[in-house]
A and B are shown apart, each in its own frame.
Chain A
Amino acid sequence: MRAFRTMFKTELKLSLRGMDMFIFAICMPVTVMVILGITYGDKPAFDGAEYTFLEQSFGAVATIAVCAGGVMGLPLVISDYRHKKILKRFKVTPTSPALILAVQIVIYALYSIASLILIYVTAVLFFAYQFSGSWLNFLGAYILVMLSIFSIGLLVGGVAPNTKTASVFASVLYFPMLIFSGATLPYEVMPKALQKAADILPLAQGIKLLKAASLGLPMYSVSVPVIVMVALAVICTGISVRFFKWE
Protein backbone atom coordinates (compact mmCIF):
# COMPACT_ATOMS: atom_id res chain seq x y z
CA MET A 1 0.00 0.00 0.00
CA ARG A 2 2.88 2.35 0.78
CA ALA A 3 4.20 1.82 -2.73
CA PHE A 4 0.78 2.53 -4.21
CA ARG A 5 0.33 5.70 -2.15
CA THR A 6 3.78 7.07 -2.93
CA MET A 7 3.48 6.28 -6.58
CA PHE A 8 -0.03 7.67 -6.78
CA LYS A 9 1.08 10.95 -5.22
CA THR A 10 4.07 11.22 -7.56
CA GLU A 11 2.27 10.16 -10.73
CA LEU A 12 -0.58 12.57 -10.01
CA LYS A 13 1.94 15.38 -9.66
CA LEU A 14 3.60 14.34 -12.91
CA SER A 15 0.27 14.22 -14.67
CA LEU A 16 -0.66 17.71 -13.45
CA ARG A 17 2.76 19.01 -14.50
CA GLY A 18 2.03 17.60 -17.94
CA MET A 19 -1.09 19.85 -18.15
CA ASP A 20 -2.69 17.83 -21.02
CA MET A 21 -5.21 16.11 -18.80
CA PHE A 22 -5.92 19.26 -16.88
CA ILE A 23 -6.87 20.89 -20.18
CA PHE A 24 -8.72 17.99 -21.81
CA ALA A 25 -10.37 16.43 -18.77
CA ILE A 26 -11.02 19.43 -16.54
CA CYS A 27 -11.10 22.67 -18.55
CA MET A 28 -12.74 21.30 -21.66
CA PRO A 29 -15.86 19.73 -20.07
CA VAL A 30 -16.43 22.85 -17.99
CA THR A 31 -16.07 25.00 -21.10
CA VAL A 32 -18.54 22.85 -23.02
CA MET A 33 -20.96 23.08 -20.11
CA VAL A 34 -20.66 26.87 -20.05
CA ILE A 35 -21.16 27.12 -23.82
CA LEU A 36 -24.24 24.88 -23.70
CA GLY A 37 -25.55 26.87 -20.75
CA ILE A 38 -25.10 30.18 -22.52
CA THR A 39 -26.46 28.93 -25.83
CA TYR A 40 -29.50 27.03 -24.60
CA GLY A 41 -30.12 28.55 -21.16
CA ASP A 42 -33.29 27.06 -19.76
CA LYS A 43 -34.82 26.18 -23.11
CA PRO A 44 -36.63 22.89 -23.06
CA ALA A 45 -34.97 20.00 -24.83
CA PHE A 46 -37.75 19.97 -27.40
CA ASP A 47 -41.25 21.44 -27.59
CA GLY A 48 -43.26 20.17 -24.69
CA ALA A 49 -40.31 18.48 -22.99
CA GLU A 50 -40.33 18.40 -19.21
CA TYR A 51 -36.60 18.92 -18.99
CA THR A 52 -34.23 21.49 -20.47
CA PHE A 53 -31.69 20.96 -23.18
CA LEU A 54 -28.95 21.52 -20.62
CA GLU A 55 -30.36 18.86 -18.32
CA GLN A 56 -30.46 16.50 -21.24
CA SER A 57 -26.83 17.23 -22.07
CA PHE A 58 -25.43 16.79 -18.56
CA GLY A 59 -24.80 13.05 -18.90
CA ALA A 60 -23.03 13.55 -22.21
CA VAL A 61 -20.74 16.31 -21.01
CA ALA A 62 -19.84 14.19 -17.99
CA THR A 63 -18.17 11.68 -20.33
CA ILE A 64 -15.72 14.11 -21.94
CA ALA A 65 -13.17 13.52 -19.20
CA VAL A 66 -13.70 9.76 -19.28
CA CYS A 67 -13.05 9.83 -22.99
CA ALA A 68 -9.96 12.05 -22.68
CA GLY A 69 -8.47 9.94 -19.91
CA GLY A 70 -9.49 6.58 -21.26
CA VAL A 71 -8.63 6.72 -24.92
CA MET A 72 -6.04 9.51 -24.89
CA GLY A 73 -4.28 9.69 -21.53
CA LEU A 74 -4.18 6.03 -20.58
CA PRO A 75 -2.87 4.53 -23.83
CA LEU A 76 -0.29 7.26 -24.25
CA VAL A 77 1.08 6.96 -20.74
CA ILE A 78 1.25 3.17 -20.97
CA SER A 79 3.06 3.14 -24.29
CA ASP A 80 5.32 5.96 -23.16
CA TYR A 81 6.30 4.15 -19.96
CA ARG A 82 6.91 1.00 -21.92
CA HIS A 83 8.96 2.87 -24.51
CA LYS A 84 11.02 4.55 -21.79
CA LYS A 85 11.51 1.11 -20.19
CA ILE A 86 10.03 2.30 -16.94
CA LEU A 87 7.86 -0.83 -16.84
CA LYS A 88 10.99 -2.89 -17.38
CA ARG A 89 12.67 -1.25 -14.41
CA PHE A 90 9.66 -2.14 -12.27
CA LYS A 91 10.13 -5.75 -13.28
CA VAL A 92 13.42 -5.89 -11.38
CA THR A 93 11.93 -4.58 -8.15
CA PRO A 94 9.71 -6.43 -5.67
CA THR A 95 6.65 -4.68 -6.99
CA SER A 96 4.87 -5.52 -10.20
CA PRO A 97 4.55 -3.36 -13.31
CA ALA A 98 0.80 -3.79 -12.87
CA LEU A 99 1.05 -1.45 -9.90
CA ILE A 100 1.98 1.48 -12.08
CA LEU A 101 -0.94 0.70 -14.41
CA ALA A 102 -3.34 0.51 -11.49
CA VAL A 103 -2.05 3.88 -10.32
CA GLN A 104 -2.70 5.39 -13.75
CA ILE A 105 -6.22 3.98 -13.91
CA VAL A 106 -7.01 5.46 -10.51
CA ILE A 107 -5.59 8.83 -11.59
CA TYR A 108 -7.76 8.96 -14.71
CA ALA A 109 -10.79 7.87 -12.72
CA LEU A 110 -10.03 10.72 -10.36
CA TYR A 111 -9.88 13.22 -13.24
CA SER A 112 -13.24 11.95 -14.45
CA ILE A 113 -14.85 12.30 -11.05
CA ALA A 114 -13.32 15.75 -10.51
CA SER A 115 -14.70 16.79 -13.87
CA LEU A 116 -18.13 15.39 -13.02
CA ILE A 117 -18.22 17.40 -9.80
CA LEU A 118 -17.01 20.55 -11.52
CA ILE A 119 -19.52 20.47 -14.35
CA TYR A 120 -22.28 19.70 -11.87
CA VAL A 121 -21.34 22.66 -9.71
CA THR A 122 -21.01 24.90 -12.79
CA ALA A 123 -24.40 23.85 -14.10
CA VAL A 124 -26.13 24.25 -10.76
CA LEU A 125 -24.55 27.58 -9.86
CA PHE A 126 -24.79 29.36 -13.20
CA PHE A 127 -27.51 27.67 -15.20
CA ALA A 128 -30.06 26.57 -12.61
CA TYR A 129 -29.46 22.95 -13.43
CA GLN A 130 -31.42 20.35 -11.53
CA PHE A 131 -30.46 16.72 -11.37
CA SER A 132 -33.83 15.03 -11.44
CA GLY A 133 -32.84 11.41 -11.85
CA SER A 134 -31.32 8.81 -9.62
CA TRP A 135 -27.72 9.41 -8.52
CA LEU A 136 -27.35 5.73 -7.83
CA ASN A 137 -28.28 4.76 -11.39
CA PHE A 138 -26.23 7.60 -12.74
CA LEU A 139 -23.09 6.68 -10.84
CA GLY A 140 -23.57 3.04 -11.72
CA ALA A 141 -23.78 3.94 -15.40
CA TYR A 142 -20.84 6.32 -15.01
CA ILE A 143 -18.64 3.57 -13.58
CA LEU A 144 -19.71 1.25 -16.37
CA VAL A 145 -18.79 3.87 -18.98
CA MET A 146 -15.46 4.41 -17.25
CA LEU A 147 -14.71 0.68 -17.18
CA SER A 148 -15.47 0.15 -20.82
CA ILE A 149 -13.73 3.28 -22.14
CA PHE A 150 -10.67 2.70 -19.95
CA SER A 151 -10.52 -0.89 -21.17
CA ILE A 152 -10.21 0.40 -24.73
CA GLY A 153 -7.31 2.55 -23.56
CA LEU A 154 -5.65 -0.38 -21.83
CA LEU A 155 -5.97 -2.40 -25.00
CA VAL A 156 -4.45 0.29 -27.21
CA GLY A 157 -1.67 1.07 -24.75
CA GLY A 158 -1.06 -2.57 -23.98
CA VAL A 159 -0.63 -3.92 -27.48
CA ALA A 160 0.46 -0.96 -29.63
CA PRO A 161 4.04 -1.68 -30.69
CA ASN A 162 5.27 1.85 -30.04
CA THR A 163 4.31 5.29 -28.85
CA LYS A 164 3.65 6.53 -32.35
CA THR A 165 1.13 3.81 -33.17
CA ALA A 166 -0.52 4.25 -29.79
CA SER A 167 -0.85 7.96 -30.45
CA VAL A 168 -2.38 7.41 -33.90
CA PHE A 169 -4.87 4.90 -32.48
CA ALA A 170 -5.67 7.19 -29.59
CA SER A 171 -6.47 10.06 -31.95
CA VAL A 172 -8.51 7.86 -34.26
CA LEU A 173 -10.58 6.71 -31.29
CA TYR A 174 -10.66 9.94 -29.34
CA PHE A 175 -11.81 12.54 -31.82
CA PRO A 176 -14.70 10.67 -33.49
CA MET A 177 -15.85 9.42 -30.11
CA LEU A 178 -15.69 12.89 -28.60
CA ILE A 179 -17.52 14.56 -31.45
CA PHE A 180 -19.98 11.94 -32.70
CA SER A 181 -21.13 10.09 -29.62
CA GLY A 182 -22.76 13.20 -28.27
CA ALA A 183 -20.17 14.11 -25.67
CA THR A 184 -19.58 17.56 -27.15
CA LEU A 185 -21.91 17.92 -30.12
CA PRO A 186 -25.35 17.05 -28.74
CA TYR A 187 -26.70 13.81 -30.16
CA GLU A 188 -30.13 15.36 -30.50
CA VAL A 189 -29.03 18.02 -32.98
CA MET A 190 -27.34 15.48 -35.26
CA PRO A 191 -29.07 14.42 -38.48
CA LYS A 192 -30.79 11.04 -38.29
CA ALA A 193 -28.15 9.30 -40.42
CA LEU A 194 -25.36 10.52 -38.19
CA GLN A 195 -27.27 9.39 -35.11
CA LYS A 196 -27.49 5.92 -36.59
CA ALA A 197 -23.75 5.87 -37.22
CA ALA A 198 -23.06 7.24 -33.75
CA ASP A 199 -25.03 4.39 -32.20
CA ILE A 200 -22.24 1.96 -32.96
CA LEU A 201 -19.82 3.99 -30.82
CA PRO A 202 -19.68 2.50 -27.34
CA LEU A 203 -19.60 5.91 -25.77
CA ALA A 204 -22.90 6.79 -27.47
CA GLN A 205 -24.47 3.80 -25.74
CA GLY A 206 -23.00 4.89 -22.43
CA ILE A 207 -24.29 8.40 -22.88
CA LYS A 208 -27.82 7.09 -23.47
CA LEU A 209 -27.67 5.35 -20.13
CA LEU A 210 -26.32 8.44 -18.39
CA LYS A 211 -28.99 10.63 -19.94
CA ALA A 212 -31.81 8.38 -18.88
CA ALA A 213 -30.36 8.11 -15.37
CA SER A 214 -29.81 11.85 -14.97
CA LEU A 215 -33.25 12.78 -16.27
CA GLY A 216 -35.03 10.09 -14.30
CA LEU A 217 -36.53 8.71 -17.51
CA PRO A 218 -37.59 5.12 -17.62
CA MET A 219 -34.89 3.05 -19.27
CA TYR A 220 -36.75 1.03 -21.88
CA SER A 221 -33.82 -0.39 -23.70
CA VAL A 222 -31.30 -0.44 -20.95
CA SER A 223 -30.16 -3.95 -21.70
CA VAL A 224 -28.61 -3.19 -25.11
CA PRO A 225 -26.27 -0.42 -23.92
CA VAL A 226 -25.37 -2.35 -20.77
CA ILE A 227 -24.57 -5.51 -22.70
CA VAL A 228 -22.54 -3.57 -25.27
CA MET A 229 -20.52 -1.81 -22.59
CA VAL A 230 -19.91 -4.86 -20.42
CA ALA A 231 -18.96 -6.96 -23.43
CA LEU A 232 -16.58 -4.27 -24.58
CA ALA A 233 -14.93 -4.03 -21.16
CA VAL A 234 -14.53 -7.78 -20.88
CA ILE A 235 -13.18 -8.25 -24.41
CA CYS A 236 -10.75 -5.31 -24.33
CA THR A 237 -9.44 -6.07 -20.87
CA GLY A 238 -9.11 -9.73 -21.75
CA ILE A 239 -7.13 -9.06 -24.92
CA SER A 240 -4.92 -6.46 -23.29
CA VAL A 241 -4.08 -8.75 -20.36
CA ARG A 242 -3.40 -11.66 -22.70
CA PHE A 243 -1.23 -9.75 -25.15
CA PHE A 244 0.22 -7.08 -22.90
CA LYS A 245 3.84 -6.23 -23.67
CA TRP A 246 5.94 -4.96 -20.81
CA GLU A 247 8.73 -3.95 -23.19
Chain B
Amino acid sequence: MEASIKAEGLSKSYGHVKAVEDLNISICRGEVFGLLGANGAGKSTALECILGAKKQDTGTVSVLGMNPQKDRKRLFERVGVQFQEANYQDKIRVAELCEVTASLYKTPLNYMDMLKQFGLSDKLKSYVSELSGGQRQRLFIVLALIPNPELVFLDELTTGLDARARRGVWKSLSDLKAKGLTIFLTSHFMDEVEALCDKIMILKNGKSIFYGTLQEAIESSPYTKLEDAYLWYTDGEDRVDESL
Protein backbone atom coordinates (compact mmCIF):
# COMPACT_ATOMS: atom_id res chain seq x y z
CA MET B 1 0.00 0.00 0.00
CA GLU B 2 1.04 3.60 -0.59
CA ALA B 3 2.83 5.08 2.40
CA SER B 4 1.30 8.27 3.80
CA ILE B 5 4.31 8.95 5.96
CA LYS B 6 7.76 7.56 5.47
CA ALA B 7 10.63 8.56 7.75
CA GLU B 8 14.02 6.92 7.46
CA GLY B 9 16.98 7.26 9.76
CA LEU B 10 15.53 10.33 11.43
CA SER B 11 17.86 11.88 14.02
CA LYS B 12 17.84 15.23 15.79
CA SER B 13 20.02 16.56 18.59
CA TYR B 14 19.87 19.68 20.69
CA GLY B 15 23.47 20.42 21.55
CA HIS B 16 24.78 17.17 22.96
CA VAL B 17 21.37 15.76 23.77
CA LYS B 18 20.02 13.35 21.22
CA ALA B 19 16.31 14.07 21.14
CA VAL B 20 15.53 11.40 18.56
CA GLU B 21 17.86 8.84 17.08
CA ASP B 22 17.55 6.80 13.93
CA LEU B 23 13.77 6.51 13.72
CA ASN B 24 12.21 4.57 10.88
CA ILE B 25 8.47 4.98 10.50
CA SER B 26 6.20 3.94 7.70
CA ILE B 27 2.48 4.59 7.88
CA CYS B 28 0.06 3.42 5.22
CA ARG B 29 -2.95 5.30 3.99
CA GLY B 30 -5.93 4.83 6.30
CA GLU B 31 -3.85 3.59 9.20
CA VAL B 32 -3.86 4.99 12.70
CA PHE B 33 -0.35 5.21 14.09
CA GLY B 34 0.41 5.91 17.74
CA LEU B 35 3.71 7.33 18.93
CA LEU B 36 4.12 6.49 22.60
CA GLY B 37 6.64 7.24 25.28
CA ALA B 38 7.15 9.09 28.54
CA ASN B 39 7.38 12.88 28.67
CA GLY B 40 10.70 13.89 27.16
CA ALA B 41 11.10 10.65 25.23
CA GLY B 42 11.25 12.56 21.96
CA LYS B 43 7.67 12.31 20.71
CA SER B 44 7.22 16.00 20.02
CA THR B 45 10.61 16.34 18.34
CA ALA B 46 9.86 13.36 16.10
CA LEU B 47 6.47 14.84 15.26
CA GLU B 48 7.94 18.27 14.48
CA CYS B 49 10.65 16.80 12.26
CA ILE B 50 8.05 14.85 10.32
CA LEU B 51 5.97 18.01 9.97
CA GLY B 52 8.98 19.97 8.81
CA ALA B 53 8.57 22.42 11.69
CA LYS B 54 12.06 21.37 12.80
CA LYS B 55 14.90 20.36 10.56
CA GLN B 56 16.28 16.90 11.28
CA ASP B 57 20.06 16.47 11.47
CA THR B 58 20.03 13.33 9.37
CA GLY B 59 17.45 11.14 7.69
CA THR B 60 14.68 11.68 5.18
CA VAL B 61 10.99 12.39 5.60
CA SER B 62 8.26 12.07 3.04
CA VAL B 63 4.65 12.94 3.82
CA LEU B 64 2.00 12.14 1.19
CA GLY B 65 4.93 11.78 -1.19
CA MET B 66 6.15 15.32 -0.50
CA ASN B 67 9.05 16.90 1.34
CA PRO B 68 7.45 18.74 4.26
CA GLN B 69 10.05 21.51 4.17
CA LYS B 70 10.09 22.17 0.44
CA ASP B 71 6.45 21.46 -0.40
CA ARG B 72 5.04 23.01 2.76
CA LYS B 73 2.22 24.99 1.17
CA ARG B 74 1.03 22.16 -1.06
CA LEU B 75 1.34 19.57 1.69
CA PHE B 76 -0.57 21.42 4.37
CA GLU B 77 -3.61 21.86 2.15
CA ARG B 78 -4.06 18.13 2.77
CA VAL B 79 -2.75 17.74 6.31
CA GLY B 80 -4.30 18.87 9.60
CA VAL B 81 -2.27 19.40 12.76
CA GLN B 82 -3.20 19.72 16.41
CA PHE B 83 -0.29 20.67 18.64
CA GLN B 84 -0.02 19.69 22.25
CA GLU B 85 -0.36 23.20 23.60
CA ALA B 86 -3.25 25.14 22.21
CA ASN B 87 -2.01 28.26 20.41
CA TYR B 88 -4.47 31.08 19.99
CA GLN B 89 -4.70 34.83 20.32
CA ASP B 90 -5.96 36.51 23.48
CA LYS B 91 -9.58 37.53 23.36
CA ILE B 92 -10.36 35.52 20.24
CA ARG B 93 -13.76 33.86 20.02
CA VAL B 94 -14.42 30.30 18.91
CA ALA B 95 -16.17 31.30 15.68
CA GLU B 96 -13.38 33.76 14.80
CA LEU B 97 -10.64 31.20 15.29
CA CYS B 98 -12.55 28.71 13.12
CA GLU B 99 -13.22 31.32 10.46
CA VAL B 100 -9.58 32.38 10.26
CA THR B 101 -8.43 28.76 10.14
CA ALA B 102 -10.92 27.92 7.39
CA SER B 103 -9.79 30.94 5.36
CA LEU B 104 -6.28 29.50 5.10
CA TYR B 105 -7.39 26.52 3.00
CA LYS B 106 -8.70 26.23 -0.52
CA THR B 107 -11.46 23.74 0.25
CA PRO B 108 -12.23 23.79 3.96
CA LEU B 109 -15.06 21.86 5.58
CA ASN B 110 -17.96 23.72 7.12
CA TYR B 111 -16.75 24.35 10.65
CA MET B 112 -20.29 24.75 12.01
CA ASP B 113 -20.97 21.08 11.27
CA MET B 114 -17.73 20.07 12.93
CA LEU B 115 -18.37 22.17 16.03
CA LYS B 116 -21.77 20.52 16.29
CA GLN B 117 -20.27 17.08 15.92
CA PHE B 118 -17.82 17.82 18.72
CA GLY B 119 -20.47 19.37 20.95
CA LEU B 120 -19.30 22.97 20.69
CA SER B 121 -22.03 24.61 18.65
CA ASP B 122 -23.31 26.59 21.64
CA LYS B 123 -19.82 28.04 22.18
CA LEU B 124 -19.49 30.04 18.96
CA LYS B 125 -19.43 33.41 20.74
CA SER B 126 -17.31 32.26 23.68
CA TYR B 127 -13.75 33.35 24.10
CA VAL B 128 -11.41 30.44 23.46
CA SER B 129 -9.65 31.29 26.73
CA GLU B 130 -12.89 30.80 28.64
CA LEU B 131 -13.54 27.29 27.40
CA SER B 132 -12.87 24.40 29.74
CA GLY B 133 -9.76 22.34 29.06
CA GLY B 134 -11.82 19.63 27.42
CA GLN B 135 -13.79 22.01 25.25
CA ARG B 136 -10.60 23.68 24.10
CA GLN B 137 -9.06 20.33 23.30
CA ARG B 138 -12.08 19.42 21.17
CA LEU B 139 -11.95 22.80 19.45
CA PHE B 140 -8.34 22.18 18.44
CA ILE B 141 -9.27 18.80 17.03
CA VAL B 142 -11.95 20.58 15.01
CA LEU B 143 -9.32 23.08 13.76
CA ALA B 144 -7.09 20.18 12.68
CA LEU B 145 -10.00 18.68 10.75
CA ILE B 146 -11.21 21.90 9.08
CA PRO B 147 -8.90 21.44 6.04
CA ASN B 148 -10.71 18.17 5.29
CA PRO B 149 -7.33 16.46 5.55
CA GLU B 150 -6.18 13.12 4.21
CA LEU B 151 -3.79 12.93 7.11
CA VAL B 152 -4.07 14.40 10.56
CA PHE B 153 -1.50 14.79 13.34
CA LEU B 154 -2.91 14.83 16.85
CA ASP B 155 -0.50 15.48 19.70
CA GLU B 156 -1.99 14.16 22.95
CA LEU B 157 -5.48 14.47 21.62
CA THR B 158 -7.57 13.61 24.66
CA THR B 159 -5.42 14.93 27.50
CA GLY B 160 -7.80 16.84 29.76
CA LEU B 161 -10.99 15.31 28.42
CA ASP B 162 -13.51 13.53 30.63
CA ALA B 163 -14.46 9.92 29.97
CA ARG B 164 -17.54 10.70 27.92
CA ALA B 165 -15.82 13.35 25.80
CA ARG B 166 -12.94 10.96 25.08
CA ARG B 167 -15.36 8.29 23.88
CA GLY B 168 -16.98 10.91 21.67
CA VAL B 169 -13.66 11.94 20.17
CA TRP B 170 -12.67 8.32 19.57
CA LYS B 171 -15.99 7.66 17.86
CA SER B 172 -15.57 10.68 15.57
CA LEU B 173 -12.01 9.69 14.69
CA SER B 174 -13.02 6.07 14.05
CA ASP B 175 -15.70 7.30 11.66
CA LEU B 176 -13.14 9.45 9.84
CA LYS B 177 -10.73 6.53 9.75
CA ALA B 178 -13.43 4.39 8.15
CA LYS B 179 -13.61 7.07 5.43
CA GLY B 180 -9.89 6.71 4.78
CA LEU B 181 -8.31 9.34 7.04
CA THR B 182 -4.76 8.54 8.10
CA ILE B 183 -4.03 9.49 11.70
CA PHE B 184 -0.71 10.09 13.44
CA LEU B 185 -1.24 10.51 17.16
CA THR B 186 0.72 10.66 20.36
CA SER B 187 -0.87 9.56 23.59
CA HIS B 188 -0.26 8.60 27.19
CA PHE B 189 -3.45 6.56 27.48
CA MET B 190 -3.30 2.92 26.57
CA ASP B 191 -7.09 2.55 26.40
CA GLU B 192 -7.07 5.26 23.74
CA VAL B 193 -4.26 3.57 21.85
CA GLU B 194 -6.16 0.28 21.97
CA ALA B 195 -9.35 1.93 20.81
CA LEU B 196 -7.75 3.68 17.84
CA CYS B 197 -4.31 2.52 16.78
CA ASP B 198 -3.29 -0.09 14.25
CA LYS B 199 0.40 0.37 14.72
CA ILE B 200 2.52 1.90 17.45
CA MET B 201 6.04 2.94 18.15
CA ILE B 202 7.34 3.25 21.69
CA LEU B 203 10.11 5.78 22.23
CA LYS B 204 12.56 5.88 25.05
CA ASN B 205 15.33 8.46 25.25
CA GLY B 206 14.79 9.23 21.61
CA LYS B 207 15.14 5.66 20.41
CA SER B 208 12.50 3.29 19.17
CA ILE B 209 12.20 0.35 21.56
CA PHE B 210 9.14 -1.16 19.92
CA TYR B 211 7.59 -0.75 16.50
CA GLY B 212 4.73 -2.89 15.24
CA THR B 213 1.07 -3.71 15.68
CA LEU B 214 -0.72 -3.67 19.01
CA GLN B 215 -0.99 -7.42 18.96
CA GLU B 216 2.72 -7.84 18.38
CA ALA B 217 3.39 -5.44 21.24
CA ILE B 218 1.42 -7.59 23.63
CA GLU B 219 2.62 -10.92 22.26
CA SER B 220 6.28 -10.12 22.53
CA SER B 221 5.87 -9.11 26.17
CA PRO B 222 5.10 -11.42 29.11
CA TYR B 223 1.76 -9.66 29.64
CA THR B 224 -1.72 -9.80 28.21
CA LYS B 225 -2.67 -6.15 28.58
CA LEU B 226 -1.24 -3.32 26.49
CA GLU B 227 -0.65 -1.07 29.49
CA ASP B 228 1.38 -3.76 31.27
CA ALA B 229 3.27 -4.47 28.07
CA TYR B 230 3.96 -0.73 27.57
CA LEU B 231 5.30 -0.36 31.09
CA TRP B 232 7.39 -3.48 30.61
CA TYR B 233 8.90 -2.05 27.42
CA THR B 234 9.61 1.36 28.82
CA ASP B 235 10.81 0.01 32.14
CA GLY B 236 12.82 -2.87 30.72
CA GLU B 237 15.73 -0.80 29.58
CA ASP B 238 16.00 0.96 32.89
CA ARG B 239 16.72 -2.33 34.54
CA VAL B 240 19.31 -3.05 31.89
CA ASP B 241 20.78 0.41 32.41
CA GLU B 242 20.95 -0.09 36.14
CA SER B 243 22.67 -3.44 35.79
CA LEU B 244 25.38 -1.91 33.64
Q: Is A191 an interface residue (CB 8 A)?
A: no
Q: Which of A6, A80, A81, A247 lies in contact with B99, CB distance below 8 A?
A: A6
Point out which of B73, B96, B106 has the most chain A C-beta atoms below 10 A from its C-beta: B96
Given contacts A6-B103, A94-B104, contact A14 B79 (CB under 8 A): no
CB-defined A-B contacts under 8 Å, sample of 12: A6-B100, A10-B100, A14-B89, A14-B91, A14-B92, A84-B88, A91-B72, A92-B52, A93-B104, A93-B105, A94-B72, A247-B53
Residue of A whose beta carbon sits closest to that of B103: A6
Binary contact track A61-92/B, C-beta < 8 Å → 1, others 0: 00000000000000000001100111011111
Residues of chain B contacted by A90 (CB below 8 angstroms) = 104
Q: Which of B83, B96, B99, B105 lies in contact with A94, CB distance below 8 A?
A: B105
| Secondary structure call for the B interface | loop
What 7 new A-B contacts, CB under 8 Å, besides A7-B103, A14-B89, A18-B91?
A: A2-B103, A10-B92, A14-B92, A85-B83, A93-B101, A93-B105, A96-B73
Residues of chain B contacted by A7 (CB below 8 angstroms) = 100, 103
Q: Is B46 an interface residue (CB 8 A)?
A: no
Binary contact track A157-192/B, C-beta < 8 Å → 1, others 0: 000000000000000000000000000000000000
Residues of chain B contacted by A247 (CB below 8 angstroms) = 53
Smallest CB separation, B205 vs chain A (Å): 24
B87 near A88: Cβ-Cβ < 8 Å: yes
Within 8 A of A (CB), among B19-74: 51-53, 72-74
Q: Is B81 an interface residue (CB 8 A)?
A: yes
Residues of chain B contacted by A17 (CB below 8 angstroms) = 91
A86 near B87: Cβ-Cβ < 8 Å: yes
- In the bound assembly, the distance between CA atoms of A2 and B101 in angstroms comes to 11
Q: Is A95 an interface residue (CB 8 A)?
A: yes
Binary contact track B74-116/A, C-beta < 8 Å → 1, others 0: 1011010101010111111000100111111110000000000
Smallest CB separation, A58 vs chain B (Å): 34
Given contacts A91-B53, A92-B79, A94-B77, contact A84 B89 (CB under 8 A): yes
Given contacts A10-B96, A13-B96, A88-B53, contact A81 B89 (CB under 8 A): yes
Q: Is A193 an interface residue (CB 8 A)?
A: no
Chain B residues touching A, range: 20 to 34
Q: Which of A81, A84, A94 lies in contact with B76, CB distance below 8 A?
A: A94
B53 near A84: Cβ-Cβ < 8 Å: no
Residues of chain B contacted by A14 (CB below 8 angstroms) = 89-92, 96
Smallest CB separation, A13 vs chain B (Å): 7
Q: Is A136 an interface residue (CB 8 A)?
A: no
Given contacts A92-B76, A92-B79, contact A3 B89 (CB under 8 A): no
B73 near A85: Cβ-Cβ < 8 Å: no
- In the bound assembly, the distance between CA atoms of A96 and B89 in angstroms comes to 17
- In the bound assembly, the distance between CA atoms of A3 and B81 in angstroms comes to 18
Smallest CB separation, B91 vs chain A (Å): 5
- In the bound assembly, the distance between CA atoms of A81 and B74 in angstroms comes to 24
Residue of A whose beta carbon sits closest to that of B105: A94
B96 near A92: Cβ-Cβ < 8 Å: no
Residue of B whose beta carbon sits closest to that of A11: B89
- In the bound assembly, the distance between CA atoms of A6 and B96 in angstroms comes to 9
- In the bound assembly, the distance between CA atoms of A91 and B74 in angstroms comes to 12
Binary contact track A1-40/B, C-beta < 8 Å → 1, others 0: 0110111001101100110000000000000000000000
Binary contact track B141-171/A, C-beta < 8 Å → 1, others 0: 0000001000001000000000000000000
